Amino acid sequence: MPTRKAVYDPGPEVTINDFNFSVKFRLSSIFSKDGMILSLSFSSGELIIFLDNIILLSSKIENSGMGDIMSKIKFIFANIKLFKIVKIILIIFVLTNIPKVYANNIKNSAVIFMYHKFGISKYPSTNVTMEQFNSHLEEFTKNKYNIKPINFIIDTILNDGDLPDNTIGISVDDADKSFLKNAWPLLKEKNIPVTLFVNTSTITPNNKNYLNWDQIRFLQSEGVQIGAHSHTHNHMPGLSIDELRAEIETSNKIFLKELGIIPSLFAYPYGEADERIINLLKEYKFKVAFGQHSGVINETSNMYYLPRFSLNEKYSEIERVKFAASAKGLGVYDFIPTNPTISENPPYIGFSLLDQNLTKSLDCFVFDSEGTVEKELFKFNERIEIRLKRKLNKGRSRINCTTKDANGDWRWYGHQFYL
**pLDDT at residue 225 is higher than 50:** yes
pLDDT band at residue 284 using 50, 70 and 90 as cut-offs = very high
Average pLDDT, the chain: 82
Which of 329, 358, 391 is at the close of a domain?
329
Beta strand pairing call for 383-388 and 375-380 = antiparallel
Q: List pLDDT tens digits, range 331-354.
A: 999 999 999 999 999 999 999 999
- Burial zone of 61 (CB within 10 Å; 0-12 exposed, 13-18 middle, 19+ buried): middle
Q: Are residues 308 and 410 in the same domain?
A: no
List the CATH number of the domain containing 249.
3.20.20.370
For residues 236-255, give the mean pLDDT. 98
Residue 128 has pLDDT above 90, yes or no: yes
Same domain, 243 and 347: no
Identify the H or E element spanning 254. helix 241-259
Query: What is the rounded distance in angstroms from the CA atom of residue 304 to the CA atom of residue 300?
Result: 12
* pTM of the predicted model over 0.75: yes
pLDDT for residue 245: 98
What end-to-end distance do the CA atoms of the chain give, in Å? 32
DSSP output for 52-72 = TTEEEEEEE-TT--HHHHHHH
Do 290 and 406 fall within a single domain? no
Q: Report the DSSP beta bridge partners of residue 28.
A: 40
**Long-range own/partner contacts, residues 187-190 (CB < 8 A, 24 or more apart):** 187/137, 188/222, 190/137, 190/141
| Dihedral (Cα; 248, 254, 258, 263), 10-degree rounding | 10
Give the domain-ending residue among 281, 305, 329. Answer: 329
Does any domain span residue 7?
Answer: no
**Contact of 73 with 57, CB cutoff 8 Å:** no
Q: Which of 162, 139, 189 is nearest to 325 (CA)?
A: 139
Task: Supply the DSSP string of 201-234, one letter for each residue.
Answer: GG--TT-SSB--HHHHHHHHHTTPEEEE--SS--
Considering the domain architecture, whether residues 80 and 118 belong to the same structural domain is answered as: no
Residue 308 has pLDDT above 70, yes or no: yes
pLDDT digit string, tens, across residues 130-179: 999 999 999 999 999 999 999 999 999 999 999 999 999 999 999 999 99
207 and 287 part of one domain: yes
Q: Which of 28, 38, 33 is nearest to 345 (CA)?
A: 33
Q: Tell me the C-alpha distance between 114 and 171, whole Å.
A: 5
Tell me the C-alpha distance between 255 and 278, whole Å. 20
pLDDT for res 105 = 58
Domain that holds residue 355: 340-418
Q: Reduced to 3 states, what is the DSSP secondary structure of residue 410?
A: strand
pLDDT band at 3 (very low <50, low <70, confident <90, very high): very low
- Decide if 252 contacts 217 (C-beta within 8 A): no
Average pLDDT value for residue range 13-32: 35
Residue 106's pLDDT is what? 76
Return all residues near 46 (Cβ < 8 A) that are at least 6 apart: 58, 59, 60, 61
Say yes or no: 26 and 164 in one domain. Answer: no
325/347 same-domain check: no
Residues 238, 170, single domain; the answer is yes
Judged against a pLDDT cut of 50, whether residue 303 lies above it is answered with: yes
Boundary (domain end) residue, out of 309, 329, 349: 329
- Residue 56 reports pLDDT greater than 50: no
Same domain, residue pair 70 and 135: no
